[in-house]
Amino acid sequence: TVLVDLTDGVLTLVLNRPDRLNALTDDMHMALRAGIQRAHDDADVRAVLLTGAGRAFCAGQDLGDRDPRRGGPAPDLGQTLETYYNPTLRLIRSLDKPVVCAVNGVAAGAGANIALACDIVLAAQSARFIQAFAKIGLVPDAGGSWSLTRILGEARAKALALTAEPLPAQQAADWGLIWKAVADEALMDQASALALSLAAGPTLGLGLTKRLIQAAATNSLDEQLDLERDAQRKAGRSADYAEGVTAFLEKRPALFRGE
Ligand code: LHQ
């Protein structure tokens, strides 16, 4: 349900249930989780690329799994989030390596919000982001109420979440919700090139950079200056910093080893 490949430092994870628009089943949740966990544990992984197979990125939770017509007690969706979504969201945010998301088609419900949890999001021009929850009586989850509000502000976050109106990729880029909208046929080349270049980067410094930027939203300037000092101290002791400066002085490309 999730294809996994490690090449040249890039761990590519492909959501792979194209006939259901990559809607998430329990198996897929666990496979995606295992992939991100591997990125934490395996030093050979220096960047992650997440995308979907077929015409969609991900249509969110598989609703066929939860047919209320079958009867029985109402499911505890809070438990579903705790079991399947929240650990994965936390793993993506806490990974000290960059995560690129290539949104190849529609991203709906939790599918949209998993994409928004990634560090750099590229989307095909034909892709749309849909906060589909309101259509079925649910609330934004998978971090969406947090990321939409942080990135867009209340006005746009509320309108998207309350109306479930699709947001086209270009508008998402214009609003700063994602990094770029690119021509459909160029998406995978651009996203792979980006992931490869990040994987060849100074991984330790990139991980510290990710942490700094994530901390900024809740820190005061004073706290953030302290955090930058501590992070720069660590980065300054890395082999990649020595290599970066040496390469600059020798007028050659740096060869980072990620440490
Ligand atoms: C699907 C799905 C799907 C199953 C398309 N499931 N089959 C968290 C906690 C616990 C529970 C609940 O949820 C959550 C978080 C969530 O993610 S809630 C939000 C769940 N997602 C949605 O509500 C989106 C549902 N899908 C859609 O609105 C449309 O499919 C979109 C707008 C994504 C795409 O529309 P189209 O391009 O017109 O494609 P389609 O609707 O024809 O879909 C193609 C097939 O995929 C179709 O099956 P069929 O047998 O007719 O070919 C759909 O039934 C199936 N599919 N999403 N989430």
Cα 227 to Cα 96, 206, 219, 222, 242: the distances in Å are 16, 15, 9, 9, 21
pLDDT value, residue 72: 87
pLDDT value, residue 65: 78
Q: Which ligand 1 atom sits closest to the C-alpha of 142?
A: 15
pLDDT value, residue 4: 98
- How much distance in Å is there from the Cα of 152 to the middle of ligand 1? 25
Nearest Cα residue to atom 1 of ligand 1: 20
Segment 112-122 shows an average pLDDT of 98
CA distance 118 to 194: 14
pLDDT value, residue 84: 98
Segment 147-155 shows an average pLDDT of 98
Segment 232-256 shows an average pLDDT of 98
Segment 77-92 shows an average pLDDT of 98
Q: Which ligand 1 atom sits closest to the C-alpha of 20?
A: 46
pLDDT value, residue 144: 98
Count CB neighbours of 145 within 10 A. 17
- How much distance in Å is there from the Cα of 71 to the middle of ligand 1? 21
Ligand 1: residues with CB < 6 A are 20-21, 23, 59-64, 66, 77, 80-81, 106, 108-110, 130, 132-133, 135-136, 138, 141
Residue 73 has pLDDT above 90, yes or no: no
Q: Which ligand 1 atom sits closest to the C-alpha of 66?
A: 11
CA distance 176 to 125: 15
- How much distance in Å is there from the Cα of 17 to the middle of ligand 1? 12
- How much distance in Å is there from the Cα of 16 to the middle of ligand 1? 15
Q: 203-249, what's its fold?
A: Lyase 2-enoyl-coa Hydratase; Chain  A, domain 2 (1.10.12)
pLDDT value, residue 66: 75
- Domains of the chain by residue range: 2-199, 203-249
ipTM of the shown complex: 0.98
CB-neighbour burial class of residue 194 (10 A; exposed 0-12, middle 13-18, buried 19+) = buried
pLDDT value, residue 198: 98
Residue 218 has pLDDT above 80, yes or no: yes
pLDDT value, residue 99: 99
- How much distance in Å is there from the Cα of 60 to the middle of ligand 1? 7
Q: 2-199, what's its fold?
A: 2-enoyl-CoA Hydratase; Chain A, domain 1 (3.90.226)
- How much distance in Å is there from the Cα of 58 to the middle of ligand 1? 8
Helices 26-41 & 86-94 angle (0-180, nearest 10): 20
Segment 219-236 shows an average pLDDT of 98
Supply the mean pLDDT for the chain: 97
Cα 15 to Cα 104, 113, 154, 226, 231: the distances in Å are 11, 14, 30, 39, 34
pLDDT, tens digit (0-9, with 9 covering 90-100), for 157-198:
999 999 999 999 999 999 999 999 999 999 999 999 999 999
